[in-house]
Structure 1
Amino acid sequence: MRRITSISANDDWTLDVRFATGEVRRYDVSPLLQREAFRGLEDAAMFKTARNGGYFVAWDNDADLSADTLYLEGVPLPPTTHPT
């Protein structure tokens, strides 16, 4: 199971996610905003509440995404990218 070590919620509704392996992936959340579970993330302030749950990313509105989804559907970034 993949483990997240850090995340960064970007202004363009993407997440930069660093995994325990050192790999960094960018995941675009914007296509999910039309789904009921993610609709509240259209608010930029709510999107920025993203927090690292270790094996998932969660938001204050109870939406979440698994580390596997973020990894498998994310776009690889250079290892020098450092999400906070």
Structure 2
Amino acid sequence: MRRINWISTNEDWTLDVCFTNGEVRKYDVRPLLQSEAFRELEDVAIFKTARNGGYFVAWDNDADLSADTLYLEGIPVTPAIESN
């Protein structure tokens, strides 16, 4: 199970997510905004309430996304840092 180190919200409704392996991926939330669970995130103020739950990202409106979803569907920004 993947774990999140930190997240950053962007003005274009994307998240930058850094995982514990050092890899950063960009996840686009815009396609989800049409579903009822994520519709409130169209308000950028609510979108910006995203918080790191370790194994998920959650918002104040009770919407959430798992770390696995963010990793598997996110676009790599940096390669994983291998530890020796």
TM-score above 0.5: yes
- 1:34-53 counterparts in 2 under 5 A? 34-53=34-53
Q: Secondary structure at the match of 1:54?
A: coil
Establish whether residue 75 from structure 1 lines up as the match of residue 84 from structure 2. no
Unaligned runs of 5+ in 1: 80-84
Cross-structure match for 1:17: 17
After TM superposition, the runs of 4+ consecutive aligned structure 1 residues lying more than 6 A away are none
CA shift at 1:57, angstroms? Answer: 0.1
Equivalent position SS for 1:32: helix
Number of residue pairs matched by the alignment: 79
For residue 73 of structure 2, what is the amino acid of its counterpart? Answer: E
Query: Deviation digits for residues 40-84 of structure 1, max 9, x if unmatched?
Result: 0000000000000000000000000000000000000025xxxxx
> Which has more radius of gyration?
2
For the aligned residues, what is the CA RMSD?
0.7
Any unmatched runs of 5+ in structure 2?
80-84
Partners in 2 of 1:78 and 1:72 — Cα distance?
A: 14
* Percent of residue pairs identical: 80
Q: State the Cα deviation string for residues 2-30 of structure 1 (Å, max 9, x = none).
A: 00000001000000000000000000000
Match of 2:60?
60
